Amino acid sequence: MPLVRYSTYSPPPLFRNPHVQTVHPALFRRVSGVDFQRERISTPDGDFLDLDWSSKGFSRLGILCHGLEGSSTRPYMKGMARALDRHGWDALAWSYRGCSGEPNGKPRFYHSGATEDLETVVRHALSTGRYGKVALIGFSLGGNLVLKYLGDAGEALPSEIQAAVAFSVPCDLASGAREMAKARNRLYMDRFLKMLREKIRAKMELFPGSLHDEGFERIRDFKQFDDRYTAPLHGFRSAEDYWRKASCRRVLPAVRVPALLVNAQDDPFLGEACYPRVEAEESDRLFLEIPQHGGHAGFVAFGDGGLYWSERRAMAFLAEALGE
Protein backbone atom coordinates (compact mmCIF):
# COMPACT_ATOMS: atom_id res chain seq x y z
CA MET A 1 0.00 0.00 0.00
CA PRO A 2 2.55 2.63 -1.13
CA LEU A 3 0.42 5.70 -0.43
CA VAL A 4 2.89 8.03 1.28
CA ARG A 5 0.89 9.27 4.24
CA TYR A 6 3.12 12.17 5.26
CA SER A 7 5.21 14.30 2.94
CA THR A 8 8.37 16.00 4.18
CA TYR A 9 7.89 19.08 2.00
CA SER A 10 7.43 22.31 3.92
CA PRO A 11 7.52 25.47 1.75
CA PRO A 12 9.62 28.51 2.65
CA PRO A 13 7.79 31.58 3.91
CA LEU A 14 5.82 33.30 1.11
CA PHE A 15 5.73 30.07 -0.94
CA ARG A 16 2.46 28.65 0.33
CA ASN A 17 0.70 30.20 -2.64
CA PRO A 18 0.52 27.64 -5.49
CA HIS A 19 0.90 30.27 -8.21
CA VAL A 20 4.05 31.66 -6.60
CA GLN A 21 5.38 28.10 -6.44
CA THR A 22 4.53 27.54 -10.11
CA VAL A 23 5.82 30.82 -11.54
CA HIS A 24 8.83 31.68 -9.39
CA PRO A 25 11.20 28.89 -10.54
CA ALA A 26 10.43 29.51 -14.21
CA LEU A 27 11.16 33.22 -13.93
CA PHE A 28 13.87 33.47 -11.32
CA ARG A 29 15.69 30.20 -10.82
CA ARG A 30 19.20 29.96 -12.24
CA VAL A 31 20.99 26.61 -12.21
CA SER A 32 24.78 26.65 -12.55
CA GLY A 33 27.28 23.84 -12.81
CA VAL A 34 25.57 21.80 -15.52
CA ASP A 35 27.43 21.49 -18.82
CA PHE A 36 25.42 19.62 -21.42
CA GLN A 37 26.92 18.04 -24.53
CA ARG A 38 24.36 17.74 -27.32
CA GLU A 39 23.85 14.69 -29.48
CA ARG A 40 21.33 14.36 -32.30
CA ILE A 41 19.88 10.94 -33.00
CA SER A 42 17.53 9.68 -35.70
CA THR A 43 14.07 8.25 -35.03
CA PRO A 44 12.74 5.16 -36.79
CA ASP A 45 10.39 7.32 -38.87
CA GLY A 46 13.19 9.51 -40.22
CA ASP A 47 12.93 12.44 -37.81
CA PHE A 48 15.43 13.52 -35.15
CA LEU A 49 15.68 14.03 -31.39
CA ASP A 50 18.23 16.19 -29.56
CA LEU A 51 19.78 14.72 -26.43
CA ASP A 52 21.77 16.72 -23.87
CA TRP A 53 24.20 14.67 -21.83
CA SER A 54 25.85 15.47 -18.52
CA SER A 55 28.39 12.66 -18.50
CA LYS A 56 30.67 12.22 -15.51
CA GLY A 57 31.70 8.64 -16.14
CA PHE A 58 29.22 7.02 -13.77
CA SER A 59 27.65 3.65 -14.50
CA ARG A 60 24.13 4.87 -13.62
CA LEU A 61 21.99 7.13 -15.78
CA GLY A 62 18.98 9.32 -15.12
CA ILE A 63 16.87 10.11 -18.20
CA LEU A 64 14.90 13.34 -17.81
CA CYS A 65 11.61 14.18 -19.57
CA HIS A 66 10.31 17.77 -19.57
CA GLY A 67 6.83 19.25 -19.54
CA LEU A 68 4.56 20.84 -22.15
CA GLU A 69 6.47 23.36 -24.27
CA GLY A 70 9.56 22.84 -22.17
CA SER A 71 13.01 21.67 -23.18
CA SER A 72 16.14 20.08 -21.77
CA THR A 73 17.36 23.50 -20.59
CA ARG A 74 14.46 24.41 -18.29
CA PRO A 75 15.55 25.10 -14.68
CA TYR A 76 13.76 22.02 -13.32
CA MET A 77 15.61 19.84 -15.86
CA LYS A 78 19.02 21.33 -15.15
CA GLY A 79 18.35 21.28 -11.42
CA MET A 80 17.60 17.56 -11.52
CA ALA A 81 20.62 16.91 -13.76
CA ARG A 82 22.82 18.68 -11.22
CA ALA A 83 21.34 16.62 -8.38
CA LEU A 84 21.99 13.40 -10.30
CA ASP A 85 25.58 14.41 -10.97
CA ARG A 86 26.16 15.11 -7.29
CA HIS A 87 24.78 11.71 -6.31
CA GLY A 88 26.76 9.50 -8.67
CA TRP A 89 24.56 9.50 -11.77
CA ASP A 90 25.09 10.64 -15.32
CA ALA A 91 22.15 12.62 -16.68
CA LEU A 92 20.48 12.62 -20.09
CA ALA A 93 17.98 15.43 -20.67
CA TRP A 94 16.22 15.14 -24.01
CA SER A 95 13.95 17.54 -25.87
CA TYR A 96 10.80 16.39 -27.62
CA ARG A 97 10.24 16.89 -31.33
CA GLY A 98 10.33 20.60 -32.07
CA CYS A 99 11.42 21.60 -28.55
CA SER A 100 15.20 21.80 -28.93
CA GLY A 101 15.39 25.12 -30.77
CA GLU A 102 14.35 24.17 -34.30
CA PRO A 103 11.32 22.51 -35.89
CA ASN A 104 11.42 18.76 -36.27
CA GLY A 105 11.33 17.20 -39.70
CA LYS A 106 7.83 15.70 -39.82
CA PRO A 107 4.30 17.15 -39.79
CA ARG A 108 3.72 15.50 -36.39
CA PHE A 109 5.37 16.79 -33.25
CA TYR A 110 5.02 15.50 -29.66
CA HIS A 111 2.20 14.65 -27.28
CA SER A 112 1.56 13.24 -23.80
CA GLY A 113 1.49 9.63 -24.94
CA ALA A 114 4.38 9.57 -27.43
CA THR A 115 6.22 6.79 -25.63
CA GLU A 116 7.81 5.62 -28.88
CA ASP A 117 10.20 8.58 -28.71
CA LEU A 118 11.10 7.83 -25.09
CA GLU A 119 11.69 4.23 -26.18
CA THR A 120 14.08 5.50 -28.88
CA VAL A 121 16.00 7.52 -26.28
CA VAL A 122 16.16 4.61 -23.83
CA ARG A 123 17.39 2.18 -26.49
CA HIS A 124 20.03 4.62 -27.65
CA ALA A 125 21.29 5.20 -24.09
CA LEU A 126 21.48 1.47 -23.44
CA SER A 127 23.28 0.87 -26.73
CA THR A 128 26.27 2.84 -25.40
CA GLY A 129 26.98 -0.06 -23.03
CA ARG A 130 27.91 2.36 -20.24
CA TYR A 131 24.96 1.95 -17.93
CA GLY A 132 23.88 -0.99 -15.82
CA LYS A 133 21.23 0.98 -13.95
CA VAL A 134 18.81 3.54 -15.41
CA ALA A 135 16.15 5.71 -13.77
CA LEU A 136 13.45 7.71 -15.56
CA ILE A 137 12.43 11.12 -14.18
CA GLY A 138 9.60 13.18 -15.64
CA PHE A 139 7.85 16.47 -15.03
CA SER A 140 4.20 17.19 -15.86
CA LEU A 141 3.63 15.91 -19.44
CA GLY A 142 7.01 14.18 -19.14
CA GLY A 143 5.85 12.44 -15.98
CA ASN A 144 2.81 11.10 -17.81
CA LEU A 145 5.15 9.93 -20.56
CA VAL A 146 7.40 8.11 -18.08
CA LEU A 147 4.57 6.36 -16.23
CA LYS A 148 2.75 5.40 -19.42
CA TYR A 149 5.98 3.99 -20.85
CA LEU A 150 6.47 1.88 -17.71
CA GLY A 151 2.87 0.69 -17.69
CA ASP A 152 2.78 -0.11 -21.39
CA ALA A 153 6.04 -2.08 -21.13
CA GLY A 154 5.06 -4.04 -18.03
CA GLU A 155 7.25 -7.12 -17.69
CA ALA A 156 8.95 -6.36 -21.03
CA LEU A 157 10.68 -3.27 -19.61
CA PRO A 158 14.48 -3.34 -20.14
CA SER A 159 16.07 -4.78 -17.01
CA GLU A 160 18.41 -1.80 -16.72
CA ILE A 161 15.47 0.48 -15.87
CA GLN A 162 15.15 0.04 -12.14
CA ALA A 163 13.17 3.02 -10.85
CA ALA A 164 11.25 6.15 -11.81
CA VAL A 165 10.16 9.45 -10.31
CA ALA A 166 7.46 11.78 -11.67
CA PHE A 167 6.35 15.20 -10.48
CA SER A 168 3.16 17.20 -11.13
CA VAL A 169 1.65 14.66 -13.49
CA PRO A 170 -1.74 15.03 -15.24
CA CYS A 171 -2.36 11.30 -14.91
CA ASP A 172 -5.86 11.79 -16.31
CA LEU A 173 -5.50 14.16 -19.25
CA ALA A 174 -9.21 14.93 -19.49
CA SER A 175 -9.28 16.00 -15.84
CA GLY A 176 -6.20 18.16 -16.32
CA ALA A 177 -7.62 19.76 -19.48
CA ARG A 178 -10.85 20.65 -17.67
CA GLU A 179 -8.86 22.21 -14.84
CA MET A 180 -6.73 24.26 -17.24
CA ALA A 181 -9.87 25.56 -18.96
CA LYS A 182 -11.04 27.26 -15.75
CA ALA A 183 -10.89 31.05 -15.51
CA ARG A 184 -8.27 30.98 -12.75
CA ASN A 185 -5.81 29.35 -15.14
CA ARG A 186 -6.44 31.74 -18.04
CA LEU A 187 -2.95 33.25 -17.98
CA TYR A 188 -1.28 29.82 -18.07
CA MET A 189 -3.59 28.64 -20.85
CA ASP A 190 -2.95 31.73 -22.95
CA ARG A 191 0.81 31.28 -22.56
CA PHE A 192 0.68 27.65 -23.65
CA LEU A 193 -1.51 28.49 -26.64
CA LYS A 194 0.83 31.27 -27.72
CA MET A 195 3.80 28.90 -27.73
CA LEU A 196 1.83 26.16 -29.48
CA ARG A 197 0.74 28.59 -32.18
CA GLU A 198 4.39 29.36 -32.87
CA LYS A 199 4.94 25.63 -33.37
CA ILE A 200 2.01 25.46 -35.79
CA ARG A 201 3.34 28.40 -37.78
CA ALA A 202 6.76 26.77 -38.04
CA LYS A 203 5.05 23.64 -39.41
CA MET A 204 3.14 25.77 -41.92
CA GLU A 205 6.42 27.01 -43.38
CA LEU A 206 7.94 23.53 -43.56
CA PHE A 207 4.83 21.78 -44.86
CA PRO A 208 2.73 24.29 -46.82
CA GLY A 209 -0.91 23.28 -47.05
CA SER A 210 -0.69 20.51 -44.44
CA LEU A 211 -2.19 22.67 -41.68
CA HIS A 212 -3.01 26.31 -40.97
CA ASP A 213 -3.61 28.67 -38.05
CA GLU A 214 -6.54 30.62 -39.48
CA GLY A 215 -8.94 31.33 -36.62
CA PHE A 216 -6.42 30.15 -34.01
CA GLU A 217 -7.31 33.13 -31.82
CA ARG A 218 -10.69 31.49 -31.19
CA ILE A 219 -9.01 28.49 -29.55
CA ARG A 220 -9.39 28.93 -25.82
CA ASP A 221 -8.47 25.59 -24.27
CA PHE A 222 -6.79 22.21 -24.80
CA LYS A 223 -10.05 20.64 -25.96
CA GLN A 224 -10.19 22.93 -28.97
CA PHE A 225 -6.45 22.68 -29.66
CA ASP A 226 -6.31 18.91 -29.38
CA ASP A 227 -9.41 18.45 -31.52
CA ARG A 228 -7.95 20.63 -34.26
CA TYR A 229 -4.27 19.65 -34.14
CA THR A 230 -3.06 16.96 -31.72
CA ALA A 231 -5.67 14.33 -32.55
CA PRO A 232 -5.54 14.42 -36.37
CA LEU A 233 -1.75 14.85 -36.52
CA HIS A 234 -1.14 11.81 -34.33
CA GLY A 235 -3.83 9.37 -35.35
CA PHE A 236 -6.51 9.97 -32.72
CA ARG A 237 -10.21 10.42 -33.47
CA SER A 238 -10.72 13.41 -31.19
CA ALA A 239 -9.35 15.18 -28.13
CA GLU A 240 -11.29 12.78 -25.90
CA ASP A 241 -9.86 9.78 -27.74
CA TYR A 242 -6.36 11.20 -27.37
CA TRP A 243 -6.81 11.95 -23.68
CA ARG A 244 -8.19 8.49 -22.95
CA LYS A 245 -5.46 6.59 -24.81
CA ALA A 246 -2.52 8.79 -23.74
CA SER A 247 -3.33 9.10 -20.02
CA CYS A 248 -0.98 7.09 -17.83
CA ARG A 249 -3.56 6.41 -15.12
CA ARG A 250 -5.15 3.53 -16.99
CA VAL A 251 -1.84 1.61 -17.13
CA LEU A 252 -0.49 2.36 -13.65
CA PRO A 253 -1.40 -1.11 -12.31
CA ALA A 254 1.04 -2.59 -14.83
CA VAL A 255 4.08 -0.65 -13.53
CA ARG A 256 6.66 -3.21 -12.40
CA VAL A 257 9.52 -1.07 -10.99
CA PRO A 258 9.48 1.23 -7.96
CA ALA A 259 7.94 4.52 -9.13
CA LEU A 260 7.34 7.64 -7.06
CA LEU A 261 4.57 10.02 -8.15
CA VAL A 262 4.53 13.40 -6.40
CA ASN A 263 1.49 15.62 -7.08
CA ALA A 264 0.99 18.63 -4.83
CA GLN A 265 -2.46 19.00 -3.32
CA ASP A 266 -2.53 22.66 -4.41
CA ASP A 267 -1.35 22.08 -8.00
CA PRO A 268 -3.46 24.51 -10.08
CA PHE A 269 -3.17 22.33 -13.21
CA LEU A 270 -4.49 19.05 -11.81
CA GLY A 271 -8.06 17.80 -11.29
CA GLU A 272 -9.04 15.20 -8.72
CA ALA A 273 -8.66 12.32 -11.18
CA CYS A 274 -4.94 13.12 -11.40
CA TYR A 275 -4.40 11.71 -7.90
CA PRO A 276 -4.50 7.90 -8.33
CA ARG A 277 -4.97 6.97 -4.69
CA VAL A 278 -6.67 3.64 -5.33
CA GLU A 279 -3.98 2.52 -7.78
CA ALA A 280 -1.26 3.36 -5.25
CA GLU A 281 -3.05 1.61 -2.39
CA GLU A 282 -3.41 -1.55 -4.46
CA SER A 283 0.18 -1.51 -5.77
CA ASP A 284 3.47 -2.55 -4.24
CA ARG A 285 5.44 -0.50 -6.80
CA LEU A 286 3.61 2.82 -7.26
CA PHE A 287 4.27 5.31 -4.45
CA LEU A 288 1.93 8.32 -4.42
CA GLU A 289 2.97 11.35 -2.36
CA ILE A 290 0.68 14.38 -2.06
CA PRO A 291 2.39 17.33 -0.33
CA GLN A 292 0.01 20.04 0.82
CA HIS A 293 2.02 22.65 -1.10
CA GLY A 294 4.25 22.74 -4.17
CA GLY A 295 2.17 24.18 -7.00
CA HIS A 296 2.95 22.81 -10.44
CA ALA A 297 6.56 21.59 -10.73
CA GLY A 298 7.53 23.99 -7.94
CA PHE A 299 8.63 22.47 -4.60
CA VAL A 300 10.90 25.45 -3.99
CA ALA A 301 13.58 25.17 -1.31
CA PHE A 302 16.59 27.27 -0.39
CA GLY A 303 19.99 26.22 0.89
CA ASP A 304 21.41 22.70 0.51
CA GLY A 305 23.65 23.71 -2.37
CA GLY A 306 20.77 25.08 -4.41
CA LEU A 307 18.82 21.82 -4.57
CA TYR A 308 15.04 22.01 -4.52
CA TRP A 309 13.05 19.63 -2.34
CA SER A 310 11.92 17.72 -5.44
CA GLU A 311 15.55 17.01 -6.32
CA ARG A 312 16.42 15.82 -2.83
CA ARG A 313 13.28 13.69 -2.74
CA ALA A 314 14.08 12.10 -6.08
CA MET A 315 17.63 11.23 -5.00
CA ALA A 316 16.42 9.74 -1.72
CA PHE A 317 13.81 7.62 -3.48
CA LEU A 318 16.27 6.35 -6.08
CA ALA A 319 18.76 5.39 -3.35
CA GLU A 320 16.05 3.47 -1.52
CA ALA A 321 14.72 1.82 -4.67
CA LEU A 322 18.20 0.63 -5.62
CA GLY A 323 18.86 -0.70 -2.13
CA GLU A 324 21.41 1.91 -1.18
Active-site positions read 140, 267, 296
Alpha-carbon distance 245 to 113, whole Å? 8
**Exposure class string for 275-314: b at 16+ Cβ within 10 A, else e:** bbeebbeebebbbbbbbebbbbbbbbbeeeebbbbbbbbb
